[in-house]
Amino acid sequence: MSQPKLSHLAGTLIGSEIVKLGNMISERIRNGEKIYNFTIGDFDPQVFPIPAELEQLIIESYQQRNTSYPAAEGVLDLRKSVASFIREWEGLEYSPNEIQIASGGRPLIYTIFKAIVDKGDKVIYGVPSWNNNHYVHMTDGEHCVIECKPENDFMPTPDDIAKNIKGATLICICTPQNPTGTTLSKNALTEICDLILEENKQRGEEEKKLYLMFDQMYWTLTYGNTEHVNPVSLRPEMKAYTIFVDGISKVFAATGVRVGWSLGPETVIAKMKAILSHLGAWAPMAEQKAVAKYLVQKEAIAKYLTHFKAEIEERLRNIHNGFIALKEKGYSVDSVTPQAAIYLTIKIDLVGKTTVEGTILETQADVTSYILSEAKLAVVPFSAFGGGSKSPWYRLSVGTSKKEEIPEMLLKLENALQKLK
């Protein structure tokens, strides 16, 4: 039976490869298969619950009947609390009318694109990266893709940006980055800001300016000597051209609570509000009211983050150390030292190896399938993030990881590697 003809977008848009893979893995687990699932950038609430104070505030908010439509820009209490939170924790000064609330980061990113990008506008983004390709496609933008290298922690460099900046409308940067768990250095971000400022100086009054979408959803989750930096603190003039994407999803393991915010120039925020008012992608009223009360509880937040970050970092470092130990034994694997977020970048370079059954692993997809079937290890290939089908690199997410399972996972992986010739 032939498919009905729908819109060009419906016919060409690709669904989330990560969600598709995660659903497939979840189905296998439901069928009784023991799989070490490190695919989804989410948290197991049994392992990583949201802060107890926030949970109680949400319950109380529903009991107080906060169930009507929220204001399109977000309730004023929450926007004031966000302003206070980012002033206290990041030293950023934003007024409530420069803040837009939505149901997590996705609708904010979509409305940033819709507010700024016209058909054919050049959008610069690095790969691997999360979903930039899809948002460019949904807005009919021109993809300007930077292939990021391991030696640069899979982040775009100032040189990469400089080569492509002419005529661009939007630059997308996420740091700490999904999928790599790596960060952009202070020097690199400063240079990129200077490039944007210089480019905008050269544009005429009637020309579109170049904006930076700065996704810092993981900015509180940094480890060791890693320091998160932002464009506006480095170059205050960047406030006119920067739109932040932020929220509670990752900082408080609250992905399903759906409260995110953007900070940006009032003119851009106003247009985002208008677009969101038609989408209705608001954070629920009760959660907005609760988050407004929680964000000003500095001591409670600091206590939660201390424990939460320690638990995440322990998992990342244990798995990283395990991969480095396997590498030192001569196996074709590697790992990038953990810097931030809930992700570990690992390398499984087995193309050309032969299984005990005599099957040659001819493609990276064969490798992914092999480690899933033999090691029961489920991770997301960088190809799902635009990294190319031949990339031997993977995202490993620890948000659902149980510490006691890490040694047995590493042992199963070694056994699977040992079988190859």
- Of 393, 294, 293, 304, which Cα lies nearest the Cα of 344? 393
Band (pLDDT 50/70/90 cuts) for residue 258 is very high
Structure tokens at 409: 């996972």
Task: Please provide the average confidence, as pLDDT, over all residues in the chain.
Answer: 95
Find, among 388, 331, 392, 386, the residue nearest to 364 by Cα. Answer: 392
Q: 381-406 burial, b for 16+ CB within 10 Å, e for fewer?
A: bbbbbbbeeebbbbbbbbbbbeeeeb
User: How confident is the model over 285-291, as a mean pLDDT?
Assistant: 98
The pLDDT of 23-33, averaged and rounded, is 83
* 268 and 169 Cβ atoms separated by less than 8 Å: no
The residue-averaged pLDDT of 384-392 equals 91
Distance CA 288, CA 119 (A): 34
Query: What are 378's strand-pairing partners?
Result: 37
Span 214-242, mean pLDDT?
A: 98
- The partner residues of 377 in beta bridges, in order of sequence, read 36
The DSSP letter of residue 384 is: G
Structure-block tokens of residue 6: 């729908």
pLDDT at 1 over 90: no
| Distance from C-alpha of 345 to C-alpha of 379, rounded to nearest angstrom | 10
pLDDT of residue 270: 98
Provide the pLDDT confidence category of residue 30 given band limits of 50, 70 and 90: confident
Average pLDDT over residues 25-52: 91
Instruction: Report pTM.
Output: 0.95
Residues in the chain: 421
Please name each of the domains of the chain with its CATH number: 8-48+302-418 (3.90.1150.10), 52-296 (3.40.640.10)
Q: Would you place residue 26 in the very low, low, confident or very high pLDDT band (cuts 50, 70, 90)?
A: confident
CA distances (Å), 94 to each of 99, 243, 270, in order? 7, 12, 14
For range 222-242, the mean pLDDT: 97
Name 356's Cβ contacts closer than 8 Å, sequence gap at least 6: 419
Six token digits for residue 326: 């396997």
CA distance 270 to 166: 27
Which residue do the tokens 């529903």 mark?
Answer: 62
Could you give the CA distance from residue 337 to residue 137 in angstroms, rounded to a whole number? 33
What is the DSSP annotation of 27-52? HHHHTT---EE--SSS--TTTSPPPH
List pLDDT tens digits, range 126-155.
999 999 999 999 999 999 999 999 999 999
Long-range contacts: 90-99, Cβ < 8 Å, 24+? 90/219, 90/230, 90/233, 91/233, 92/230, 92/232, 92/233, 92/263, 94/263, 97/73, 97/266, 97/269, 98/263, 98/264, 98/265, 98/266, 98/269, 99/73, 99/74, 99/261, 99/262, 99/263, 99/269
Encoded tokens for 244: 């932040």
Q: Assign 362 to helix, strand or coil.
A: coil
| Residue-wise pLDDT tens digits, 302-311 | 999 999 999 9
Instruction: Band the pLDDT of 27: cuts 50, 70, 90.
Output: confident
Q: Are strands 260-263 and 99-102 parallel, antiparallel or unpaired?
A: antiparallel
Q: How confident is the model at residue 188 (pLDDT cuts 50, 70, 90)?
A: very high
Largest CA distance in the chain: 67
- Lateral strand order in the sheet of 99-102: 99-102, 260-263, 242-247, 211-215, 168-174, 122-127, 142-147
> Where does 148-237 show beta strands of DSSP type E?
168-174, 211-215
Whole-number Å distance between alpha carbons of 92 and 233: 7
Order of strands, sheet of 333-335, starting from the edge strand that comes earlier in the sequence: 333-335, 343-348, 393-397, 380-381
